């Protein structure tokens, strides 16, 4: 017998190797290997769950779920001595049928509640074929009377200025959860990527789309969701990595130019700031990381920059850039202890505090996490705290 190209003995050995201990019932084995890492992959019906194989010599009995697993599949085709006389037939890995007509489903019974958020895409720049993805709490569309204005979050995705989009699963899922929890309207923006469109193209697009969004403040813009639901007295800018860098520069520009909106805050998440010279003694030690980061910027992101990694767009902390004109009332700076950009992020917060800017600065640090862990490692125990702080910043 084989499963997706794997012999029963191979799977059994994997199970024995990956899990054992007091939590496991006798003669029962749990498969804890990442399914996507196996070649060939396991059958899709078994993906994203623990698979339980029970020794054929034992009567069938309800197994204990493995620790930290919320759902699992119980696979029983290995039994040839089922104890119950009520069983008519088994159809693994799908179901069992009993004499009284009862059907026991072995898989596919997990459910996901409706998240209460709707989304849609709108083109804002036909010239460059650029769009935004809007996220709106469904209940906002059901309000006939009363105040249905919501905090407006403008989000700039990361990806080293080279990859990423508002339409990728990680950003769609992240902003869906933010909107669901914060009860806000979010606009996730697309911008041109390098190397086809070197910096500052993405910055120009970001400023252009911010102006386009804020043009709805008179209630006659092209997007009905923004006209009806955006509170232009409660606008937040946010972004991660390259997007965090860009969110800073958009806030600086907002402080210099008159906007028909009130930008309450800017969330700068794991920002990609850099410079030719290290700003901390620990940065000196990691020469290889410094070389790689500088090479990406100089060779791919901004090859035409005469300053290289000291380009004012990239070197915000170690340069003489003035932060006092930041055009918002408060800033959240999020950093991760294992991130190569951590000291740049912390340095940014300190520089902002000393700049003469009159707003409030808050730093959120997760010492044991890496760059953008909330997106790349969403199962981390630290993600709920990160999300709570981010939502609190937007709603406070």
Q: Is 322 a catalytic residue?
A: no
**Active-site residue among 205, 240, 311, 339?**
339
Q: Is 241 a catalytic residue?
A: yes
* CB neighbour burial string for 77-116, b if at least 16 within 10 angstroms, e if fewer: bbbeeeeeeeeeebebbeebeeeeeeeeebbeeeeeeeee
How far apart CA 174 and CA 239 sit, in angstroms, is 12
Burial of residue 57 (CB within 10 Å: 0-12, 13-18, 19+) is exposed
Q: Phi-psi category of 106—alpha, beta or left, where left has phi over 0 and alpha has psi -120 to 50?
A: alpha
Q: Is 371 a catalytic residue?
A: yes
**Active-site residue among 229, 248, 270, 371?**
371
**Active-site residue among 217, 241, 302, 305?**
241
Active site residues: 241, 339, 371
């Amino acid at each position: 017998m084989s499963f997706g190209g794997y012999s029963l003995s191979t799977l059994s050995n994997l199970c024995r190797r990956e899990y054992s201990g007091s939590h496991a019932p006798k003669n029962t084995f749990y498969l804890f290997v990442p399914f996507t890492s196996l070649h060939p992959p396991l059958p899709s019906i078994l993906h994203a769950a623990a698979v339980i194989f029970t020794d054929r010599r034992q009567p069938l009995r309800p197994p204990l779920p493995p620790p930290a697993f919320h759902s699992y599949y119980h696979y029983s085709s290995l039994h040839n001595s089922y104890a119950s006389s009520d069983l008519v037939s088994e159809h693994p890995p799908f179901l069992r049928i009993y004499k009284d007509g009862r059907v026991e489903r072995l898989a596919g019974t997990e459910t996901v509640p409706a998240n209460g958020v709707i989304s849609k895409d709108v083109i804002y720049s036909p010239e460059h074929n650029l769009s935004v993805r809007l996220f709106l709490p469904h209940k906002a569309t059901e309000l006939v009377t009363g105040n249905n204005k919501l905090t407006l979050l403008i989000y700039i995705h990361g990806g080293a200025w080279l990859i990423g989009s508002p339409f990728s699963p990680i950003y769609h899922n992240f902003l869906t959860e933010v909107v669901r929890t914060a009860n806000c309207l979010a606009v996730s923006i697309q911008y041109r990527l390098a190397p086809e469109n070197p910096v500052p193209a993405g910055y120009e697009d970001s400023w252009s789309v911010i102006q386009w969004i804020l043009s709805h403040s008179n209630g006659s813009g092209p997007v009905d969701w923004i006209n009806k639901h955006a509170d232009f007295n409660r606008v937040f800018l946010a972004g991660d990595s390259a997007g965090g860098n860009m969110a800073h520069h958009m806030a600086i520009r907002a402080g210099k130019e008159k906007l028909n909106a009130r930008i309450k805050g800017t969330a700068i998440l794991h920002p990609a700031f850099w410079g030719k010279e290290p700003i901390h003694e620990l940065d000196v030690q990691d020469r290889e990381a410094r070389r790689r980061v500088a090479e990406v910027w100089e060779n791919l992101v901004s090859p035409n920059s005469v300053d290289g990694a000291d380009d004012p767009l990239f070197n915000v902390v170690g340069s003489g850039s003035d932060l006092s004109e930041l055009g918002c009332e408060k800033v959240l700076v999020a950093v991760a202890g294992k991130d190569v950009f951590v000291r740049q992020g912390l340095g940014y917060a300190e520089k902002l505090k000393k700049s003469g800017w009159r707003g409030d600065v808050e730093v959120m640090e997760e010492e044991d996490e890496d760059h953008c862990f909330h997106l790349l490692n969403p199962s981390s125990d630290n993600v709920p705290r990160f999300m709570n702080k981010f939502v609190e910043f937007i709603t406070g």
